[in-house]
């Protein structure tokens, strides 16, 4: 039951048609009808006497009959609030379960109306209003300073990013120029190598052409000697045959002149008759008998013949097929003599004759070495620049929060002793508790930074942390807790978490300094 003092207050209020716990704009909902009755706000079928309002007994299912007591339970689905007028400050609503609990909830009801039964809480709204006004000025100034600091961070982040963009673009241009230069040098090297190869081939072919000429000279000498020997042998044989023929003719002439026909020797007769026929039919001596000249069939003119059939010796020797043709031409010259004299030595294969080549490898020229050195240096420089470009691209693509503001704090640290530990927080880096690694930065979500993969706890998981930031002009660690084993939760003030705030938003964080209240 309510104390007499409280009943008198409620009765006087009710008689004045003012219902405790109800705001002025809703007082008309509690006006009785002509019969002095009142019905539940959400169910007109339930009609109560006017005196049943705030009688500390819950009659209406919606609890509307007890706005000034805690008779009707406060639940998540049916929250119930008591109105505090807080004259001179700002009106507010307090949960009904806090009514008359012996606690002066000055943060909500500075007029002490939440403890109307005991009347133990004096009205301090004037003092609270003074604290709030002071807080509002101070907090607005701090927020403004924090916003200025944030603006500086945003500008710094923008400048850092633009510097990275310019560096990346400049590097990209350098890479394009170096690649173009590399292509030019590569082409120059190929041309120089080809020029050097041509010179080497020409020198080698000149050397080999001299070798071929020497081989041909040797073959000419060798086969000339063989032909001379053959001609000499053939001439001797012909002379001996002619000499024997003359002797035989002489003997037969003598027989023809001196034989006696009276001898009846048939063999002699027949021989004499045959020789007489031979003599009578023998042609007169020829005066234009051809003379066999060995020089006509000699090989002394082979070199001249080769020069006549080969218009350009260098071009000819530069081709393997033409080098084969030289041997073929020489063979045809020998074949001509072979057709006249019968079998003659054929041109032998000459293993000592080096084959003519189209390509000759040799040491690179000094110019080629210089170009190669330039190419190697340029390729090394290009590789370094491309690695640097990749770092720039990765950095530009990384998540640095809204407007890339976290670029401005990357590498900065905040230190503070909290309790018995010194905490060191590195933005986008690492977080330490003294020398123990709490975690390394893994990401950003809203105004929270996350750190993971820290040192393993004894008989527990690896350490990790979440850092929640609130608006403040400086980076300052405020508190740390450990909701779960080795899972840390930090609260930190920072310009990073600041946005422009209305007075209402600032007021939400106001807390009454009870120590300053004069009660």
pLDDT at 6: 46
DSSP labels for 69-133?
A: SS-SPP-SSS--EEEE--TTS--EEEEGGGTTSS---TTT-TT-GGGTTTT-S---HHHHHHHHH
Q: Where are the beta strands (DSSP E) in 175-235?
A: none
User: Closest Cα partner for 213 from 354, 345, 321, 337?
Assistant: 354
pLDDT at 351: 46
pLDDT profile of the chain (519 residues), mean per 10: 44 62 96 94 96 96 96 95 97 97 96 96 98 96 96 97 95 96 95 90 78 72 78 79 78 73 71 75 60 55 54 50 53 57 48 50 85 95 95 93 95 97 98 98 96 95 97 96 97 96 91 94
Task: Decide: helix, strand or coil at residue 518.
Answer: coil
CA 94 – CA 90 distance, rounded (Å): 13
Task: Decide: helix, strand or coil at residue 331.
Answer: helix
Task: Decide: helix, strand or coil at residue 363.
Answer: coil
pLDDT at 407: 97
Q: Which pTM value belongs to this model?
A: 0.59
CA 405 – CA 158 distance, rounded (Å): 8
Query: What residues are paired with 47 via a beta bridge?
Result: 39
CA 144 – CA 160 distance, rounded (Å): 24
Q: Domains (ranges, CATH) in the chain?
A: 4-123 (no CATH), 168-283+291-341 (no CATH), 409-511 (2.70.130.10)
Which H or E run includes 375? helix 366-397
């Amino acid at each position: 039951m309510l104390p007499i003092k409280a009943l008198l207050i409620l009765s006087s209020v009710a008689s004045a048609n003012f219902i405790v716990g109800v705001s002025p704009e809703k007082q008309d909902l509690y006006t009785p009808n002509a019969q002095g009755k009142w019905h539940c706000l959400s169910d007109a079928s339930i009609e109560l006497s006017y005196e049943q309002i705030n009688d500390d007994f819950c009659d209406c299912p919606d609890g509307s009959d007890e706005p000034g007591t805690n008779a009707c339970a406060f639940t998540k689905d049916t929250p119930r609030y008591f109105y505090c007028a807080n004259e001179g400050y700002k009106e507010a609503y307090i949960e009904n379960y806090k009514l008359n609990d012996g606690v002066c909830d000055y943060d909500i009801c500075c007029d002490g109306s939440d403890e109307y039964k005991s009347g133990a809480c004096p009205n301090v709204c004037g003092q609270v209003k003074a604290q709030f006004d002071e807080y509002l000025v101070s907090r607005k100034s701090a927020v403004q300073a924090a916003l200025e600091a944030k603006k500086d961070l945003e500008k710094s982040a923008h400048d850092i990013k633009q510097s990275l963009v310019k560096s990346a673009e400049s590097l990209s241009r350098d890479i394009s120029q170096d690649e173009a230069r590399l292509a030019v040098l590569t082409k120059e090297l190929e041309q120089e190598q080809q020029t050097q190869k041509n010179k080497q081939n020409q020198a080698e072919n000149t050397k080999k052409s001299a070798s071929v000429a020497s081989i041909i000279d040797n073959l000419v000498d060798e086969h000339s000697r063989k032909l001379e020997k053959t001609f000499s042998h053939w001439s001797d044989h012909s002379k001996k045959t002619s000499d024997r023929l003359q002797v035989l003719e002489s003997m037969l002439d003598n027989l023809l002149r001196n034989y006696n026909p009276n001898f009846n020797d048939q063999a002699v007769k027949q021989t004499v008759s045959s020789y007489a026929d031979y003599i009578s039919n023998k042609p007169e001596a020829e005066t234009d008998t051809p003379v066999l000249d060995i020089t006509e069939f000699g090989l002394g003119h082979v070199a001249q013949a080769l020069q006549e059939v080969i218009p350009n010796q260098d071009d000819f020797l530069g081709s393997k097929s033409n080098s084969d043709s030289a041997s073929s031409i020489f063979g045809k010259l020998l074949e001509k003599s072979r057709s006249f004299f019968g079998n003659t030595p054929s041109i032998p294969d000459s293993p000592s004759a080096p084959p003519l080549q189209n390509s000759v490898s040799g040491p690179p020229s000094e110019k080629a070495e210089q170009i190669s050195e330039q190419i190697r240096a340029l390729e090394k420089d290009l590789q370094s620049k491309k690695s640097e470009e990749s770092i720039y691209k990765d950095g530009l693509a990384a998540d640095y929060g809204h407007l890339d503001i976290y670029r401005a704090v990357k590498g900065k640290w905040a230190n503070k002793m909290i309790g018995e530990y010194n905490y060191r927080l590195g933005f986008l880096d690492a977080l330490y508790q003294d020398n123990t690694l709490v975690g390394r930065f893994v990401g950003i979500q809203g105004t929270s930074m996350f750190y993971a993969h820290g040192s393993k706890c004894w008989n527990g998981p690896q350490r990790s942390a979440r850092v929640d930031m609130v608006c403040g002009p400086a980076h300052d660690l405020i508190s740390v807790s450990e909701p779960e084993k080795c899972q840390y939760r930090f609260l930190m003030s920072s310009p990073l978490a600041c946005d422009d705030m209305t007075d209402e938003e600032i007021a939400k964080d106001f807390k009454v300094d009870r120590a300053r209240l004069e009660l």
